[in-house]
């Protein structure tokens, strides 16, 4: 696999309360993300996880270093990167079908083609029969299913997910983790998207990812990159195995001190 996203010495600062102050979100952040890789990022609150994700999306400008996709600098948002947020970000005036087809319409796809692609992904996330419902008529899990279908319908090369399951109940969250793997291409190695998945949940990162990036407290740097040895395809029974528990605890040990400090400050 080649390198899809290349971050080289990335730094990002935000203005502080006084003109002479600033908040350093990222410092010397260097990371290569491979084509077709599922990469998770964990770390304490405020460590710059979402800042890095937004920079890859083209929604934030970096202050230092270089950030490349396929060898070219990322300077703005683009259809080759899709973003899924924690709060669903669905258009409330659009139906499920219209939300899912939104990026396709923006690309100028013919109506019949939009309808066929939309149908495919609505069925993939198990929302068949709800095509004409509006977001207010859906449960939280159904809203996130709709957001996931919209994310992949436009066929972006990179899927950027910022705590997409954090607002859901525990049972729905476990179910959607499996659906995310299906959307990513679990079982189809040659057709997988590149995924960057930000989460506070260590066991979620262990279940989903090929590698887990552990970040330090602010300013965010890479503390360690953990290669996940657990076999694919992943299945729910994996959660009960000792190897899963050991890896989860090993990563918690890396995160714990910074997480406690983030709560205290």
Per-residue pLDDT of 8-20, as tens digits, reads 999 999 987 766 6
Model pLDDT, residue 243: 96
Query: Which two structure tokens, joined as six digits, stand for 1?
Result: 């696999």
Find where tokens 């279908």 sit.
149
Q: Give dist(CA 171, CA 164) in Å, integer.
A: 15
The low-confidence residues of the chain, meaning pLDDT below 50, are: none
Q: What is the pLDDT of residue 189?
A: 67
Kindly report the CA angle at 174 between 171 and 180, in degrees rounded to 5? 140
Which of 216, 218, 226, 203 has its CA nearest to residue 255? 216
Which residues contact residue 228 at a Cβ distance below 8 angstroms, ignoring those fewer than 6 apart?
A: 206, 209, 210, 211, 212, 247
Q: What is the pTM of this model?
A: 0.91
Radius of gyration of the chain from its Cα atoms, rounded to whole angstroms: 19
Domains of the chain, by residue range, sit at 3-80+156-264, 89-155
pLDDT at 43: 94
Residue 119's pLDDT is: 93
For domain 3-80+156-264, give the fold.
Answer: Rossmann fold (3.40.50)
Q: Rounded to the nearest 5 degrees, what angle is found at the Cα of 165, between the Cα atoms of 78 and 229?
A: 90
* pLDDT value for 260: 76
Q: What is the pLDDT of residue 19?
A: 62
Please give the structure tokens belonging to residue 28. 């010397």
pLDDT at 30: 97
Rounded distance between C-alpha atoms, residue 87 and residue 62, angstroms? 24
Q: Are the C-beta atoms of 207 and 237 separated by less than 8 Å?
A: no
């Amino acid at each position: 696999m080649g390198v899809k996203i290349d971050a080289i010495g990335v730094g990002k600062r935000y203005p502080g309360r006084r003109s002479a102050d600033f908040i350093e979100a990222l410092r010397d952040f260097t990371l290569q993300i491979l084509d077709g890789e599922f990469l998770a990022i964990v770390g304490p609150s405020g460590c710059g996880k979402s800042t890095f994700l937004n920079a890859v999306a083209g929604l934030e400008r970096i202050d230092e270093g270089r950030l490349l996709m396929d060898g070219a600098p990322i300077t703005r948002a683009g259809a080759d990167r899709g973003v899924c947020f924690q709060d669903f970000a669905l258009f409330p005036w659009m139906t499920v079908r219209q939300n899912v087809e939104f990026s396709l319409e923006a690309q100028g796809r013919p109506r019949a083609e939009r309808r066929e692609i939309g149908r495919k992904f609505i069925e993939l996330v198990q929302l068949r029969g709800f095509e004409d419902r509006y977001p207010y008529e859906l449960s939280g899990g159904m809203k996130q299913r709709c957001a996931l279908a919209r994310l992949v319908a436009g066929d972006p090369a990179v899927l950027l997910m910022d705590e997409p399951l954090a607002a859901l109940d525990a049972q729905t969250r476990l179910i959607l983790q499996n659906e995310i793997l299906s959307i990513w291409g679990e079982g189809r190695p040659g057709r997988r998207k590149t995924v960057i998945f930000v989460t506070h949940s260590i066991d979620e990162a262990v279940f989903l990812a090929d590698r887990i990036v552990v970040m330090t407290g602010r300013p965010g740097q890479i503390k360690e990159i953990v290669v996940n040895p657990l076999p694919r395809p992943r299945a729910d029974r994996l959660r009960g195995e000792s190897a899963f528990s050991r890896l989860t605890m090993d990563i918690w040990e890396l995160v714990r001190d910074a997480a406690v400090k983030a709560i205290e400050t």
